[in-house]
Structure 1
Amino acid sequence: MLRVRITLVAVTAVVAAILVAIVTAYQGVAPLVADQIDRGLSDRADTVAALLDSGAPIPGRPDMTEQLLTVDGAVRALAPGRAALPVSEADRAIARSGDGTAESDATVDGKDYGVFTKARPGGGAIMVGQNQSEVARIDNEFLWRTGWITALAVLAVTAFSWLLIGRILRPIGRLVDATERITATGDLSARLPAAGRDEIGELTGNFNTMLAALRLSRAQQQRLVADAGHELRTPLTSIRGSAELLQRARGRLAPNDETRVLSTLVQEAKALDTLVGELVDLSTDHDIAEPASTLDLSELAEDCAQRFRRRTGRVITVTAADPIPILARPRALARCVDNLLDNALKYSPADTPVETHVRGGRLWVRDHGPGIDTTEPIFDRFYRADRTRATPGSGLGLAIVHDIVTAQHGKVFAANHSGGGAEVGFELRSNGQDLPT
């Protein structure tokens, strides 16, 4: 569970930080405390030496014991009723020389003492011992308090992290729930509320955008299926009727009638073949793996025009002005130009030319036909104006142009020429630049 893992990471980081802070502080404070204790012992030794020289009584301290070490190594107790401190060779050497100090640890009556030995001017030494029980008690109390405080801090951090991380991950939980619901039901209508401006909010926005794209794709797919079924019905009905007529006649038709029926069959089969091919092209992008490259629109237009000149024998002109390099998929763009030329040839009288123009990143084809109604959705799938329904075609050519161009971040346009006929074309960005709006 992501929430548990993140909480564990946060708590581990906090515990590590607390431990590092405690250890660092302890290591920094411990030498200071030890130095303070050593200074206290040294000051006590100086005080005892001064009182001995003045003959004044030495006031006792419950946590300390003092004794005088003579030059010959004899020990004289200065704190009656207290156990004597052990004397080492280093202590005797200081007493004999009358110079130097020494520090050591000792156990007296089962208790730990810190012992400080300091030479007296003129010979001998003062030995002062301090009971370490209080120091140990304070040290243990510090450790216990630190442990409890650390435990409480860890509990607080765990609870706070659990609640805070749960709040942060709530949008991700909604994403998980939405994906599970969509997987189970196939319902793409879900939309998540905005989740701020951070990475999770951006992820939520991208998820909503993805759902919107899926909804649009499904709607387009359903509309394509419905439109395709409608368009396929006409040629299939004609083919079926002609085939049934031939089946019933069984050779009894007049030669002219039989020829006419067979011609109808061939024409409708060709129309059906063209329609199926265009449907496949429209529903699947064969050039999706084709990498985009920089190309010259005028050269592409000339290549396409040359193919149509050989195929149809029609006059097709190409003019170019200020061509610029275009970033696009060559085969897909060639299909666009072919569809524009094919569309113009269908609506132009046989004795008129078809004109292809290139200017910058724009390419358009002009015919000399009756023109178009600019309010009509000529780039929609299967759309055909009432006055052109007798013209061969499926109404998919310009829809394919629209899909290819918009997929390459371009735009299509259509208008009537002032001298008659229609102009239909597209505009693409140049070398990755955005198109003007």
Structure 2
Amino acid sequence: MTLQFRLTIALVAVITTVVTVAGIFAVTSAERELVDGVDDFLIDRAKSIEDLQSNAEAKSFAQRDERRSVLSEFLAEPDAITQIVDPKGQIIFAFPISLPLEDAEIKIATQKDENLSEVTRIRKSTVGGVDYRILSKPLPRGGLLQIGRDLSEVNDAISGMIRAFLLLGLIGIAIAILSAWVLASQLAKPIKRLSKTAEHVARTQELTAFIDSKDGDKEVRRLAESFNVMLRALATSRDQQKRLVTDASHELRTPLTSVRTNIELLAKAKSIDEKDKELIIRDLKTEINELSLLVDEIVNLATSTGFKSENFVTDDLSVIAQEVAEKFSRRSGRTINITSSGDSIRDIQSAAIERAISNLVDNAIKFSPEGTDIVITVKNGTVCVRDFGIGVREDDGDQLLRDSLDPLIQGIFLAQVSGFQ
């Protein structure tokens, strides 16, 4: 079931409930008003008859309407049933038909207690398949006066109202369904657009399919903004993964190349003296340790949300730079000069600094002409590696700085940090 369909059902249910309650209230109120009107008529008619009973000259009243019939001192008219019950509980007059007596009404008619002279009872009864509203009132001299009024007009009016309300209700509900469907479509449109975008991203892996967060209500805009933030985070994560793989492969290539070169040299061990062999073996151990550290750091980056940085220790930058210079000089055969001045003892991450200097020297070897010198300068806690190659284009400087400041790779790629100096 779609969101639009559920919203339509909910809106139609609410509107139907409101229409039904309003219709029931209107019909009930109208019926009560009509019945109250009939009751007022019965009370007035009973009072008129009582007045005629106490007035010996009933002729003046009788002349007001040619349709009335007079029996003794009591008035009977065709618009209502008039019935007289004597003090013995016997019907002595009924026009145009007699009304059924209930036990309570017989007791009122036969009661001689003056306290019952003011008791008036109104009830509903069915006579010959017709509903009547019947008023029963004790007479001052004993007996009971009953006035009945046909409720057919009231019932017809109520039935007509019910039919009208049903028709109007059905028309209103039909209009409500159409309106609710259109309204639900408008309300669900941003959600549908978000759903289609999510499906598109899942199908194509395109992380630039952003949603316009200016459309819709506040909640929809917030949802769209959150979705866009999620897409940006995913795009950033994917970009970081790509750069991590690229940079990690670059970092691993150097020690692997060194290990391969040293192994090839050892394969020719017959022509290598013991001193050189020891240096090669030491280099192999160093490169293997470096490779192991790099692999550990890559695993940490890939399996944890944060990078565990190396502990800081007090070390001499000039000593680390000298070891790097000797290692790469033996490996490449290039001349690497080192100069040191000032205080070079600092609290540093020795392994990371050693890799940083190694990367700088390795890049200097790769991107400078054969026969040119490479100079490492250690001065007052800073290290500068200088070569005479093609250098770095200005356009690449910002990217190098962004890579170096990325928290995911700051422990591995310190060689690119321009602030290292």
TM-score higher than 0.5: yes
What pairs up with 1:81-92 in 2 under 5 angstroms?
Answer: 82-87=96-101, 91=105
Radius of gyration: which is bigger? 2
1:190 Cα deviation (Å)?
1.0
Secondary structure in 2 aligned to 1:84? coil
Of the three residues 122, 128, 146, the one matched with 2:147 is: 128
- Deviation, 1:135, is 1.5
Q: In the comparison of the two structures, how many residue pairs are matched?
A: 333
Residues 345, 381 of structure 2: 8 Å contact kept? no
Q: Distance in 2 between matches of 1:224 and 1:50?
A: 110
Q: 1:51 to 1:226 in 2, by over 3 A?
A: same
Q: Does the 8 Å CA contact 1:278/1:396 hold for their aligned counterparts?
A: no
8 Å CA contact 1:90–1:102 kept in 2: the answer is no
Does residue 75 of structure 2 align to residue 75 of structure 1?
no
Change (3 A) 1:370 1:138: same
Instruction: Give secondary structure in 2 for the equivalent of 1:170.
Output: helix
Instruction: Please list, as runs of the form range in 1=range in 2, the aligned pairs for 1:84-103 lying within 5 A after superposition.
Output: 84-87=98-101, 91=105, 97=112, 99-100=117-118, 101-103=120-122
Deviations 1:123-149 (A, max 9, x none): 554432111111211222222222233
Question: Are the structure 2 counterparts of residues 251 and 84 from structure 1 closer, same or farther at C-alpha, using a change threshold of 3 Å?
Answer: same
TM-score when normalising by structure 1: 0.63
* Identity within the alignment, %: 28
In the alignment, which residue of structure 1 is the partner of 2:346? Answer: 354
In the aligned structure 1, how far is the partner of 2:248 from the partner of 2:133?
Answer: 101
Q: Which residue of 2 aligns with 1:273?
A: 292
Q: Secondary structure at the match of 2:304?
A: coil
Q: 1:350 to 1:264 in 2, by over 3 A?
A: farther
Residues 243-258 of structure 1 correspond to what in structure 2 (within 5 A)? 243-247=263-267, 249=268, 251-258=270-277
Q: Give the CA RMSD over aligned residues.
A: 4.1
Q: Which amino acid aligns with 1:7?
A: T
Alpha-carbon offset, residue 381 of structure 1: 4.1
Partner of 1:47: 48
- Structure 2 stretches lacking a partner, 5+ long: 69-76, 318-338, 349-378, 386-393
1:192 to 203, 211, 223: 211
TM-score normalised by the chain length of structure 2: 0.65
Q: Which amino acid aligns with 2:346?
A: V
Deviations 1:369-409 (A, max 9, x none): 34789x966765469xxxxxxxxxxx943868x9xxxxxxx
Deviations 1:230-249 (A, max 9, x none): 232232223222223333x2
Distance 2:230 2:22 in 1: 47
1:64 positional shift: 1.8
Amino acid at match of 1:111: V
Of residues 160, 172, 181 in structure 2, which corresponds to 1:153?
Answer: 172
Aligned partner of 2:249 in structure 1 is 229
For 2:381, give the aligned amino acid. G
Give the 3 Å change call, closer, same or farther, for CA 120–224 of structure 1 in structure 2. same
Query: What secondary structure, in the 3-state scheme, does the structure 2 residue paired with 1:76 have?
Result: strand
The one-letter code of the counterpart of 2:249 is G
Q: Assess, with a 3 A threshold, how the Cα gap between structure 1 residues 24 and 145 changes in structure 2: closer, same or farther.
A: same
Q: Does the 8 A contact of 1:83 with 1:109 survive in 2?
A: no
Alignment partners' CA distance in 1, 2:245 and 2:304:
17
Following TM superposition, by how much is the alpha carbon of 1:202 offset from its aligned partner in structure 2, in angstroms? 0.6
Q: 1:368 to 1:280 in 2, by over 3 A?
A: farther
Show structure 1 runs of 5+ residues with no match. Answer: 291-303, 315-346, 357-366, 384-394, 403-411, 416-421, 423-437
